[in-house]
Amino acid sequence: MSGPAGTAAVPSLPGGPPGADRRQAAVLLLATLGTVMVAVDSTIVILALPTMARELVSPLDTVIWTILVYLLITAALTTQAGRLGDVLGRGRIYNLGFAVFTVGSALSGFAPNAPFLIAARGVQAVGGAIMFANAGALITQVFPAERRGRAFGFLVLGWSVGAILGILLGGVITTTLGWRYNFFINLPIGAIAVALGLGSLPASERQPAQFDIPGFLLFSASLSALSYGAIEYAANGPALANLAYVVAGLVLLPAFVAVELRSAHPMLELRELTQRLLGFSLLASLLQALGYLSVVFLLTMYLQGIRGLSPLDASVLLVPGYLVGAVVGPFMGRQVDRIGPRVLATLGLVLMLGAVLAYAQLTLGSWLGWVPVISLVSGIGIGTFFPANTTAIMSQAPPRRLGAISGLRAALTNIGTLLSFVVTLSIASASVSRATAYQVFLGTTDLTGGVAGQFLGGLRAALYGSAVILAVAAVLSWSRGRTGPPAPVGAARAGAP
């Protein structure tokens, strides 16, 4: 990852009171840079998993936790991290997230074995949760409503640029220098970002400490049990212990909901979901993540496992979509400021749905050029959905709860991402023996004939499942009602997004 690639396009957005331009530029720069770092590590880890598993001599059900532990911890911590920003100051907490993420990157790069790497990824996840939870709140704090959509568009730019760099660098670095350098590249960028943040990120009015420890513990236990049981099923097949973990996770969910509804300061503001505009926008975020964010993982299994491509060759095919998303995000952000989020957010989901359906048509002998072509469609969809839907959510947040609402949005996205990996991995690996699925994942077998078709059928079933979820998300997005241009933060006028 490189700072210039992730930040050169981040300008100040003039038009505010004296001194506002500099503060806005600093927030936009560091929020985008943090997004780049998190996105880089997401895609780098996916493409490097086969190599990491071989070198660390780790089975599939262990190495997959280098992804899942990151998603699990960020999903559990994000709402509390957003509130931590409200309590201690968003600028200070965001900068702390940068520092923790950088330390976690160093530990990951030096990991001697898979368990240590998983623990180090957990440290990364704490930093990522802090950054992810507070980035939207920082932008909402310093940008006026009429220019906030464009600012959120630059976060899409940062995510897309980071994903491009992660895919490219993941292929190049893993193939040449080795997978450890995928983490080491974060160190100089993180150090520079922390130094910049110390003197430029704004303070915010502190709120009383309002944390929900019982809810956090129940939520974490439920997600952990569900994830562990599902991954054990995917790796080792059905067993009584796996079923017990899943049942325990499901039983804990209503207990968590009951605690949240009675809590004065719940971890997840479930009552927010009763507000039509905010609730439907938050549910659209959850379902978009659940339906789409494991698609790159499925494509990696197809390209590296079934088609036998190297990490570098696979990465080249996946770049165009992220490149288009990087360009489209800021442009669509400006359109959100002009016409509102409803149409654009729904259009983005429909485009992602079309791309997933197209990916599901790939066969054992498909022309690989279809992959970058389809990715262009998905890239436009991503660049259209995120600035529109994020603007819709944050425009409903009162100033004193910016961190809480931003954290709730981020938490639902992380929950959807975590469950998307769990569900799609379980579906995809159910079509063949677990041993065969593991060999395909690592690229150590050349599937032919019926077995190859069976495994491809599993991937296709997972993609169709994702398509159904995205279709529901599109319906919810449209059903939020007619919306116009964003209102000021905390406004409650009818029709505000």
* HEC profile of 58-83: CCHHHHCHHHHHHHHHHHHHHHHHHH
| CA–centroid distance for 21 within its chain | 29
288 within a domain of the structure (yes/no) = yes
Alpha-carbon span 325 to 460, nearest angstrom: 24
Alpha-carbon span 312 to 337, nearest angstrom: 38
Same domain, 342 and 376: yes
Is residue 295 within 8 Å of residue 302, measured between CB atoms? Answer: no
Same domain, 237 and 289: no
Q: What is the pLDDT of residues 187-201, one digit of tens each?
A: 988 888 888 878 777
Average pLDDT over residues 100-117: 92
Same domain, 134 and 186: yes
Residue whose C-alpha is closest to residue 421's, from 8, 113, 49: 49
User: Does the pLDDT value for residue 490 go beyond 90?
Assistant: no
Other residues' Cβ atoms within 10 Å of the Cβ of residue 448? 9
CATH at residue 125? 1.20.1250.20
Alpha-carbon span 470 to 164, nearest angstrom: 23
Confidence of residue 399 (pLDDT cuts 50, 70, 90): low
SS3 at position 310: coil
Same domain, 116 and 144: yes
Other residues' Cβ atoms within 10 Å of the Cβ of residue 199? 8
**Residue predicted with more confidence, 164 or 349:** 349
Is residue 467 within 8 Å of residue 353, measured between CB atoms? Answer: yes
Same domain, 119 and 232: no
Say what the pLDDT of residue 123 is: 94
488 within a domain of the structure (yes/no) = no
494 within a domain of the structure (yes/no) = no
Same domain, 196 and 281: yes
Task: Show the tokens assigned to 149.
Answer: 């959509």
Same domain, 148 and 182: yes
Is residue 368 within 8 Å of residue 307, measured between CB atoms? Answer: yes
User: Does the pLDDT value for residue 38 go beyond 60?
Assistant: yes
Alpha-carbon span 98 to 32, nearest angstrom: 12
Residue whose C-alpha is closest to residue 134's, from 185, 188, 192, 197: 197
Residue whose C-alpha is closest to residue 139's, from 466, 457, 410: 410
Maximum mean pLDDT: which of 71-85, 118-132, 135-149 = 118-132
Cα Rg of the chain, angstroms: 21
Domain count, the chain: 2
Of 264, 288, 304, which one is at a domain's C-terminal end?
264
**Residue predicted with more confidence, 485 or 269:** 269
Provide the H-helix boundaries in 56-147.
60-63, 65-88, 90-109, 114-142
Same domain, 117 and 171: yes
Residue whose C-alpha is closest to residue 480's, from 338, 335, 346, 332: 346
490 within a domain of the structure (yes/no) = no
Ordered DSSP codes for 363-421 = -TT--TTHHHHHHHHHHHHHHHHHHHHHHHHHTT--GGGHHHHHHHHHHHHHHHHHHHH
**Residue predicted with more confidence, 348 or 315:** 348
Average pLDDT over residues 64-72: 80
Of 232, 264, 296, which one is at a domain's C-terminal end?
264
First to last CA, the chain: 35
8 within a domain of the structure (yes/no) = no
Alpha-carbon span 370 to 212, nearest angstrom: 48
Is residue 32 within 8 Å of residue 10, measured between CB atoms? Answer: yes
User: Does the pLDDT value for residue 13 go beyond 50?
Assistant: no
Maximum mean pLDDT: which of 13-27, 227-241, 283-297, 395-409 = 283-297
User: Does the pLDDT value for residue 150 go beyond 50?
Assistant: yes
Residue 370 lies in domain: 20-211+265-479
Other residues' Cβ atoms within 10 Å of the Cβ of residue 355? 26
484 within a domain of the structure (yes/no) = no
Residue with tokens 């292929």: 171
**Residue predicted with more confidence, 34 or 175:** 34
Determine the length of the chain.
497
User: Does the pLDDT value for residue 1 go beyond 50?
Assistant: no
492 within a domain of the structure (yes/no) = no
Sign of the torsion angle spanned by Cα atoms 88, 89, 92, 93 = positive
Same domain, 233 and 379: no
Same domain, 326 and 295: yes
Say what the pLDDT of residue 400 is: 62
Residue whose C-alpha is closest to residue 50's, from 171, 156, 169, 139: 171
Average pLDDT over residues 426-454: 60
Of 264, 288, 307, which one is at a domain's C-terminal end?
264
Say what the pLDDT of residue 407 is: 66
Is residue 345 within 8 Å of residue 392, measured between CB atoms? Answer: yes
Average pLDDT over residues 211-227: 80
Is residue 46 within 8 Å of residue 67, measured between CB atoms? Answer: yes
Task: Show the tokens assigned to 91.
Answer: 């600028």
Say what the pLDDT of residue 292 is: 85
Alpha-carbon span 440 to 438, nearest angstrom: 5
Using a pLDDT cut of 70, give the percent of the chain over it.
Answer: 74
Average pLDDT over residues 369-380: 90
Alpha-carbon span 250 to 333, nearest angstrom: 38
Is residue 437 within 8 Å of residue 429, measured between CB atoms? Answer: yes
Alpha-carbon span 326 to 341, nearest angstrom: 19
Same domain, 233 and 299: no
Sign of the torsion angle spanned by Cα atoms 50, 52, 55, 59 = negative
485 within a domain of the structure (yes/no) = no
Same domain, 271 and 258: no
User: Does the pLDDT value for residue 30 go beyond 70?
Assistant: yes
